[in-house]
Amino acid sequence: MAVPNMVFSDVETFLDSHPELFEDYLNRKGNYRMVEKWLKNHQASKSPAAPAPAPAPAPAPAPAPAPAPSPSEPREEKSNACKDSWASKCDGLQRRASQKELRKTFARSKAINVNRTYDEHVNSRAQEPLTSMRRRALLRKASSLPPTTAHILSALLESRVNIPQYPSTAVDFKYYLKEHNEREFFLELVKDISNDLDLTSLSYKILVFVCIMVDADRCSLFLVEGTGNKKTLVSKFFDVHAGTTVLPSMNSDEVQVPWGKGIIGYVAEHGETVNIPDAYQDRRFSDEIDKLTGYKTKSLLCMPIRNSDGEIIGVAQAINKSSSGALFTEDDEKVLQMYLPFCGIAISNAQLFAASRKEYDRSRALLEVVNDLFEEQTDLEKIVRKIMHRAQTLLKCERCSVQLLEDIESPVVKFTKSFELLSPKCSADTESSFKDSMEKSSYSDWLINNSIAELVASTGLPVNISDAYQDPRFDAEADQFSDFHIRSVLCVPIWNSNHQIIGVAQVLNRLDGKPFYDADQRLFEAFVIFCGLGINNTIMYDQVKKSWAKQSVALDVLSYHATCSKTEVDKFKAANIPLVCELGIDKLSFDDFSLDVDAMITAALRMFMELGMVQKFKIDYETLCRWLLTVRKNYRMVLYHNWRHAFNVCQCMFAMLTTAGFQETLTEVEILALIVGCVCHDLDHRGTNNAFQAKTGSALALLYGTSATLEHHHFNHAVMILQSEGHNIFSNLSSTEYSDLMQLLKQSILATDLTLYFENRNTFFELVSNGEYNWNVKAHRDMCRSMMMTACDLGAVTKPWEISRKVAELVTSEFFEQGDRERSELKLTPSAIFDRNRKDELPGLQLGWIDGICSPLYETLVKLNPKLQPMLDMIKANRSNWEELNKKRQRGQSISESASPCSGDSAEAGGCSVAKTGSAPCCSGNADGAPSKPVS
């Protein structure tokens, strides 16, 4: 009685548990053929025999297999041979695994990657997972490259890209399936190519399987390459037979068939199946491949392969039935018609995968180019060599060259630098002959003067020439002269970041002999974008290096000429320094014009000695003399902001410290910072204010910004002098004292910016007026020192009238020169204080300056220190004089307005003369409402 839903594994498990029943059954039902087959199988397998006998094919006698379709005797012998061969190689298929064995197999499948590449002979190394093998190989490859992030990352990414493979079964087993179960046979062939994404392995499998299906002696597979009118049929595997056990060498030359030529070209062009009993009797047949391979084609079956969209992507060709004299039948055509659509899908998938891998490789190459650009930006030749090597590897060309323009602004194309790289795959003879031609042609070979590169550089358009000798733009004579034969040229422009052409890059002759395709051109253009950035950055770096060298030389020359001579130093070092009382520098009413330029140096030396700075800070006297002389030399010869103004500000500070008694309140470091700050507070002044620097966008404004531009420059210039050899008067200070002193010095110089004065003065005025000012509070001391710097900078307004008026004339003359430059250079109308045409308005502006800026400051300082009262008294006296001048101007203006227009002597002696003879201008605010720096 038949047991429903009986599973073979259950029966096998039962027999394994009852070996006596199995032995009894074998004794009763076994025959000689079965025993012989068992002996042959166990003799073929080199493993030791199992303790139990081999299992029977089935519990009950199985019916004999159906006879093969082919009636010929040789075919039957071949089938039997195939069966025996299959039985000898595939003993694992003789029995069904038990449940225990199935579990072991499943566990092993989890531990071992079964997606192996196609290989008929699996060796012991194949037991190792391929992913780990590939990953180790790729990491070994990466380790041979520079240890950069890009290389390691690309290796790890590539190691994750697995090509899924279906484990192929033996060819003999396929013959067995064909003889016994055609459905399983067809399914086996489809499965074997379904997951193979390696186009090389897939093409080989398809040829072998077609041979088996139609019993062909040999087969060839041609795939379509190119687009449009450039289509060709290319076969890297042809005349493959079913007995081939290894893949053909990839180094063999491929066979190319023109589109529409021969039977293969006809089938590809028209999409028809061609079945020819005698190939040489068909006019479409071309015997070129037979001549090439030495094989005689008799019968032939050729059929197109289409993809899922119905487009022809290849042609399969079966040649000569294995049975001598037999022809390909309609059944063979039907079998191929059923099988080739699956092949088309598999080929399309493999081509898509190959294209994606190619794009991945190209993207990785671009990533490595970017990495090269970041690694090397200091040497132009090195980076261009790297770029050419990458391009040569990426496009697989014989030669790559880069040519740079001499002048990117010039309309005349002239190359100044050329770099070229020859592929190592080219022959040594070609390389040596090329070098010889380079030596003969010197510097004027086709690399520099070829018309194609000049055309690309002038038009900015790429040139892609598939056949150089057929293009009129190519110079064949230069090619023959250089002894380097050019077949194809791809030349593209190199752009910089400003979209200017800086050169051209070109590649010559693909290694496979094909022309450069559109995809190659697009890749090369993208590649050259990065090249342009790298070359441009390297050129800019080289220009910066040259500019830095020029600047270094210029600074060295300027520092030599900007420092004082040894003769001058020796002169003042040996000179007698007058006393303070002899110089009169301790008076608040000191005459700013009483000393000449040399006397001002001796007076400055006396100030340092009188304040005890030389002794306290151990300032070398020769260094002090050299520093003062160099500071004097670094003041420009402008009308007001010159060395005399710097000395006068320093004298005013000295008088406030000594006569007014601030020396008793401030620390010695603060006093030194104030004196040095006064001497250096207008170093290298250009005779223009901060607003002018901002309007003109000067180098100072670009360097320091628009806030306290000149003051920052004065401080930095002072630091530069101090850092010059033999000029550091602070060299004997401790590190703490030096750090504190430099901070105080910077605060002192920046305090002369009136913008900072307006920010702090209200707070300072309120503290003093309310009696809340405290010398022990650091912020209060900082504000007081800043106010003292401003008071000394504006100190000319506190001097006797004649001195104050003379200073005002100098200030106004300097302002007028700035106004003239604003009118001529900037095309602007200057404000009143800078306008030479409105100088008669200045007495009134000076009154506003004194009332709004000067008087409140000195009144507050007097409240803080009553000894400064003489300064305030002098301001009031000067104000009265400016007011009188302003009244005279107003009276003259009113007379001029009431009288008729000037005519005759009386008119000229009246209002017009007053208008013409306005007093010397002085100081006032600017047109924007913010006060300028007039008397300072």
CA dihedral of 848, 850, 851, 856, whole degrees rounded to 10:
150
State phi, psi for 20 to the nearest 5 degrees.
-70, -40
CA-wise closest residue to 316 among 245, 349, 258, 268: 268
450 touches 473 (CB < 8 A): no
Structure tokens at 663: 């020396």
State phi, psi for 415 to the nearest 5 degrees.
-90, 135
The DSSP code sequence of 424-464 is TTS-HHHHHHHHHHHHHHTT-SHHHH-HHHHHHHHH---EE
Buried b (16+ CB within 10 A) or exposed e, 501-539: bbbbbbbbbbeeebbbbeebbebbeebbebbbbbbbbbb
154 touches 135 (CB < 8 A): no
Measured distance CA(694)–CA(687) in Å, rounded:
14
In terms of Cβ atoms closer than 10 Å to its own Cβ (0-12, 13-18, 19+), residue 596 is exposed
List C-alpha distances in Å: 609 to 574, 620, 652, 654, 721: 15, 12, 16, 12, 21
Measured distance CA(544)–CA(535) in Å, rounded:
14
297 touches 319 (CB < 8 A): yes
Measured distance CA(12)–CA(97) in Å, rounded:
8
Phi-psi region of 243 (alpha: psi -120 to 50; beta: other; left: phi over 0): alpha
Any catalytic annotation for residue 712? Answer: no
785 touches 670 (CB < 8 A): yes
Identity at 20, one-letter amino acid code? E
Measured distance CA(341)–CA(306) in Å, rounded:
6
What's the chain's Rg over C-alpha atoms? 50
CA-wise closest residue to 396 among 352, 448, 358: 358
Measured distance CA(307)–CA(346) in Å, rounded:
9
Strands 397-405 and 501-510: antiparallel
Measured distance CA(604)–CA(648) in Å, rounded:
10
The CA-CA-CA angle for residues 668, 671, 676, to 5°, reads 125
Structure tokens at 458: 């002038």
DSSP secondary structure code for residue 229 in this structure: G
Measured distance CA(200)–CA(251) in Å, rounded:
13
Alpha carbons within 13 A on the beta-carbon side of 696 = 18
List C-alpha distances in Å: 844 to 567, 623, 850, 922, 925: 49, 47, 10, 9, 11
State phi, psi for 409 to the nearest 5 degrees.
-85, -20
740 touches 722 (CB < 8 A): no
Structure tokens at 183: 């459905």
Task: Count how many residues are written for the chain.
Answer: 936
Measured distance CA(11)–CA(16) in Å, rounded:
9
Q: Which entry of 641, 713, 717, 727 is annotated as an active-site residue?
A: 641
Measured distance CA(270)–CA(84) in Å, rounded:
44
Q: Could you give the residue numbers annotated as active site?
A: 641
